[in-house]
Amino acid sequence: MLFPTKILSFATMILFCGLIYYSFTAAKKGKEMPKIRRIPALEAIDEAIGRATELGAPVHFSPGRGGLVDEESGQMLASFQFLSYIARQTAKYKTQLITTICDAMVFPVAQEVVRQAYIAEGAPERFTPETVRFLSNDQMAYCTAVLGIFQREKPAANFMIGAWYAETMLIAEGAAVIGAMQVGGTARLFQLPYLVVSCDYCLLGEEVFAGGAYLGKDPVQLGSLAGQDLCKLICCGIIVVGVVTRLLGWTYFHDIIGKLGK
C-alpha cells in the first residue's frame, strides 16, 4: 500500500511529527520548559508599533504574494500569527492598521484574523474595509498599489512577514523611502537577502515559524518549538553519521536515502 520508494520520507514525517507532538503534549501537561532564546527581530515588532503610535501614523502589514494551496502555505499560516498579534497591539494602542493582500484566497482569512483580534481587544468598531485591503492578485499591480499607499498614507512601521516573491525589493525600499521602521521575515531563500539588506530587523528562515511561540508564550507553541529543536538535532546527527560512514568507505547509509526517500 505504501509506495516502497517513499518509505523513508514517510518515516521521517511520522518521526518528526511524533517528536513535535510529544513535545507539545508534554508542555501542555505542564512540564516546565527551558527559556526560549532571544530573537531581536521579534522584540522589534513592539518597538515599531510603539513608534507608529507616537507619531500617530499607521502600521502596514503584508504577508507577501504567497498563497494557501502550495508548499509555501506554512509561511502564510505563520504569518497570520504575526498579523493577529500586530492587530491586537494596534487595537490596544488605537493605531491604524493597514493590511494589504495580494492572494485572493488569503484575503478572507486575513480579514477574519484581524476582525477577531479587534473583537478580542474589545474594539470591533475599528474594523473597517480600510483595515484589510485586497489590492490585486497580479504581483506587480499589487506592488504599485502598495507603493501608492506608502506615499499617500505614510505608515511609520512596515511589517513584511510571510512568503515573499519578486515584490520584496520594491516594497521594502518603497517603505525605506518614507522612513518607516521595518521588520521583515521569510523562509523563501531567494528573497531573504533583500529583506536582510532592506529591513531594520529580519526574521531568518525558521524564525518565522517560531514567532507564534515567542509572542504568544503559549505552552503548545513553546512545546512545538522544543520538538522542532529535537528534529534539528536529529538532522545534525544524521549528517555526522553519514559523513563518518562515508569516510569509512561505507556508502550504504548515503545511498539508501536516495532509494527510499523519494
Partner 1 sequence: MSARFGIYLAGIVTIALYSYLIGDNKMFKFAEHLYVGSAAGHAITMGYINIRDLGWTPLVTKGQVMLLIPILLGLCLYSRFTTKYVWVSRYAIAVTIGIGTGVGLRGMPSAQILSQLQASMVIKNANDFLAILGTLGVILYFLFIHAQNSVTKGFGRIGRWVMMITFGVGFGTSTFSMVARGTGAVTAILRMFGMVK
Partner 2 sequence: MRREVPSIILAFVGLLMIAETFLNIPAVASLSRDVKNWGIIIGGFALALGSANLARFHIVRIARKNKEWYNSVALLACMAAFALAGVTIGPKAASYAFYYNNFLAPMNTTLQGMTVFFVGSAAYRAFTVRNAEAAILLLTAVIVILSSIPLGEQLWSRIPAISKWIQDVPNLSGQRGIIITSAVGSMAIGLRVLLGLERSHFGGE
Q: Report helix, strand or coil for 152.
A: helix
The span of 47-55, 57-65, 67-75, 90-98 binding partner 1 (CB under 8 A) equals 67-75
Closest approach, Cβ 106 to partner 1, in A, equals 9
Asked whether position 117 contacts partner 1 by CB under 8 A, the answer is no
The one of partner 2, partner 1, none whose footprint includes residue 2, by CB under 5 to 8 A per kind, is partner 2
Least distance in angstroms from the C-beta of 132 to partner 1: 11
**Residues 6 or more apart whose Cβ sits within 8 Å of residue 76:** 63, 64, 66, 67, 68, 103, 106, 162, 163
Are residues 84 and 113 in contact, defined by beta-carbon separation less than 8 angstroms?
Answer: yes
Using rule CB under 8 A, residue 228 touches partner 1: yes
The DSSP-derived string for 99-133 is: EEE-STTHHHHHHHHHHHHHHHTT-GGG--TTTEE
Is 43 a residue that touches partner 1 (CB under 8 A)? no
239 makes contact with partner 1 (CB under 8 A): yes
Measured CA angle at 32 (ends 31, 33), to 5 deg: 115
- Which of 26, 55, 176, 196 lies at the binding interface for partner 1 (CB under 8 A)? 196
Q: Compute how many other C-beta atoms are within 10 angstroms of the C-beta atom of residue 157.
A: 29
- Which stretch in 41-49, 56-64, 86-94, 245-253 sits in contact with partner 1 by CB under 8 A? 245-253
Q: How far is the CB of 189 from partner 2 (least distance, A)?
A: 6
Nearer to partner 1, 93 or 245 (CB): 245
Half-sphere exposure of 114 (CA within 13 A, CB side): 28
Please say whether the dihedral angle defined by the alpha carbons of residues 229, 234, 235 and 236, taken in this order, is positive or negative.
Answer: positive
21 interface partner picked from partner 2, partner 1, none, CB below 5 to 8 A per type: partner 2
Q: Which of residues 140-179 bind partner 1 (CB under 8 A)?
A: 140-141, 144-145, 147-148, 151-152
Check binding of 219 to partner 1 (CB under 8 A): no
What's the min distance (Å) between Cβ of 25 and partner 1?
A: 16
* Widest pairwise Cα distance in the chain: 69
In the complex with partner 1, the residue whose CB is nearer, 108 or 122, is 108
Q: Nearest-CA neighbor of 90 among 5, 155, 23?
A: 155
- Grid cell, residue 15, equals 518521526
Instruction: Find the shortest distance in angstroms from Cβ 93 to partner 1.
Output: 25
Question: Considering the complex, what minimum distance in angstroms separates the CB of residue 81 from partner 1?
Answer: 14
Residue 233's binding partner among partner 2, partner 1, none (Cβ under 5 to 8 angstroms by kind) is partner 1
Grid cell, residue 211, equals 514567532
CB 236 within 8 A of CB 29: no
**Per CB under 8 A, 230 contacts partner 1:** yes
